[in-house]
Amino acid sequence: MNLLTEKLAVHGGPAVRSKTLPYGHQTIGAPDVEAVVEVLRSSWLTTGPAVDQFERDFATTIGAEHAIAVSSGTAALHTACHALRIGKGDEVIVPAITFIASSNSVIYVGGVPVFADVEADTLTISPSDVEAKITDRTKAIVAVDFAGLPCNYAALRAIADARGIPILSDACHSLGATVGGAPAATLADISVFSFHPVKHITTGEGGMICTNQSEWATRARRFRNHGIATDHRQRSMTRTFHYEMVELGYNYRITDLQCALGSSQLRQLPTFLEKRRRIAAYYDEQIQNRADVQPLARRRGAANAYHLYVVKFQLERLRADRNDLFAALNAEGIGVNVHYQPVYQHPYYRQHFGDQSGCCPEAERAYERILSLPIFPEMSMGDAEDVIAALRKVLDYYGGV
């Protein structure tokens, strides 16, 4: 221990912040509230015009021909797996470091998730490991734009095209991310988004599927409505009662209240992104010269949407492990988090898919040394300064190795 360091809050010293700064938080303004109230006073609370409007607004933002709104990002992933006709015994390649829903969705349709390792510097899926894990049973590749950085789509595209398999982009972290100026989602065959409150825009709960393939879009629309070919408003407009359920679907519909909020939030996306990027640039600048902690790498030509700001610790230089750092920063009032434990380490996966320890060494190594720092549009620069002050305080205490 360095004798010149301050006493950490975790050891009973004074905390940098008295009120904890969360790692993510929604931004809701008066126009958002008004948009929702307007729908509450209208005739359509669900399957109404606000749903169509949000889908059109979103399709324009993403540059996709079709956008289908559903009740969550997880529902969007499940729906996309169904649209792609992934079924019993089909293998789908998923990165080891992602939110469990990316992989659970493959299981929902009877498929088998096969885990690919991540690149050590970006924590996005490793194209060379995707190549190594492809078999004749591989039906799709799930690309997760981890933390907001687009995957290496050029390399993934070459692998996918050579085998005629689609790329499903789990873009839940990367709304607003671009590659060569174009929305990152346009580089995949089908992409999915989440509108959970910590994401770039929120509808409370909500999700979206985007694609240019009409057949997949039709399958997605049916799947979110019990597998029925028409929706309530279409029947009401054509004055018919008869409907046909042509396949087994779910009720994955999203309400007009949520979609009105979604359209209102989407208009603010450029501002939200700018604020996230400003905080990320400040963190980059503050930690770039430290030997004990580093930001994730950038990718040339890609603009990160910064859903998360993930740092990696050089544990060799510290007398602490990631759990100690997590506890110490939380005690200082900094709501750091961990994104994510390799999916196959969860008890359910061990039980149903066996012990896969060692299958993705970079993911396992990264998990032991990462933390996500707070980043969200309403954070002030003062808040960001507190994060850096706490990080310095904690690293100085455990440092000097």
Ligand X SMILES: *Cc1c(COP(=O)(O)O)cnc(C)c1O
Region label for 38, one of left (φ > 0), alpha (ψ between -120 and 50) or beta (otherwise): alpha
Instruction: Please give the residues from 57 up to 96 whose contact with ligand X meets the rule CB under 6 A.
Output: 72-74
Pick the piece of the chain touching ligand X (CB under 6 A) from 33-41, 157-165, 169-177, 385-393: 169-177
Active-site choice (139, 199, 312, 393): 199
Per CB under 6 A, 194 contacts ligand X: yes
Nearer to ligand X, 196 or 253 (CB): 196
Q: How far is the CB of 89 from ligand X (least distance, A)?
A: 24
Per CB under 6 A, 191 contacts ligand X: no
Pick the piece of the chain touching ligand X (CB under 6 A) from 113-121, 166-174, 329-337, 379-387: 166-174
Q: How far is the CB of 66 from ligand X (least distance, A)?
A: 19
Cβ atoms 122, 386 nearer than 8 A: no
Q: Among 59, 172, 208, 371, indicate the residue that binds ligand X (CB under 6 A).
A: 172
Question: CA 292 to CA 3: how far, in whole Å?
Answer: 19
Q: Among 196, 224, 253, 312, indicate the residue that binds ligand X (CB under 6 A).
A: 196
Per CB under 6 A, 169 contacts ligand X: no
Per CB under 6 A, 99 contacts ligand X: yes
Q: How far is the CB of 92 from ligand X (least distance, A)?
A: 14
Question: CA 55 to CA 47: how far, in whole Å?
Answer: 12
Nearer to ligand X, 9 or 106 (CB): 106
Per CB under 6 A, 275 contacts ligand X: no
Supply the DSSP string of 57-96, one letter for each residue: HHHHHHT-SEEEEES-HHHHHHHHHHHTT--TT-EEEEES
Question: CA 387 to CA 393: how far, in whole Å?
Answer: 10
Residues in the chain: 401
Give the other-Cβ count within 10 Å of 13's Cβ.
Answer: 15
**The 302-303 sheet, strands edge to edge:** 182-183, 178-179, 302-303
Give me the residue whose beta carbon is nearest to ligand X.
73
Question: CA 174 to CA 218: how far, in whole Å?
Answer: 25
Q: Among 148, 150, 207, 262, indicate the residue that binds ligand X (CB under 6 A).
A: 207
Cβ atoms 210, 73 nearer than 8 A: no
To the nearest 10 degrees (0 to 180), the angle between helices 214-223 and 73-83 is: 130
Q: Among 27, 46, 47, 98, indicate the residue that binds ligand X (CB under 6 A).
A: 98
Q: How far is the CB of 305 from ligand X (least distance, A)?
A: 12
Q: Among 15, 141, 144, 328, indicate the residue that binds ligand X (CB under 6 A).
A: 144
Question: CA 11 to CA 7: how far, in whole Å?
Answer: 7
Number of residues in contact with ligand X under rule CB under 6 A = 14
Question: CA 308 to CA 302: how far, in whole Å?
Answer: 16
Characterize 212-225 residue by residue with b for buried, 16 or more Cβ atoms within 10 angstroms of its Cβ, and e for exposed.
Answer: ebeebbebbbbbbb
Q: Which amino acid, 50? A: A
Nearer to ligand X, 24 or 127 (CB): 24
Q: How far is the CB of 48 from ligand X (least distance, A)?
A: 21
Nearer to ligand X, 144 or 287 (CB): 144
Q: Among 21, 50, 97, 101, indicate the residue that binds ligand X (CB under 6 A).
A: 101
Instruction: Please give the residues from 342 up to 371 whose contact with ligand X meets the rule CB under 6 A.
Output: none
**The 293-295 sheet, strands edge to edge:** 293-295, 309-313, 370-373
Q: Among 79, 102, 169, 258, indicate the residue that binds ligand X (CB under 6 A).
A: 102
Q: How far is the CB of 393 from ligand X (least distance, A)?
A: 30
Q: Is 199 a catalytic residue?
A: yes
Instruction: Please give the residues from 371 up to 390 whose contact with ligand X meets the rule CB under 6 A.
Output: none
Supply the DSSP string of 90-117, one letter for each residue: -EEEEESSS-THHHHHHHHTT-EEEEE-
Q: Which residues are at the interface with ligand X (CB under 6 A)?
A: 72-74, 98-99, 101-102, 144, 170, 172-173, 194, 196, 207
Residues known to be catalytic:
199
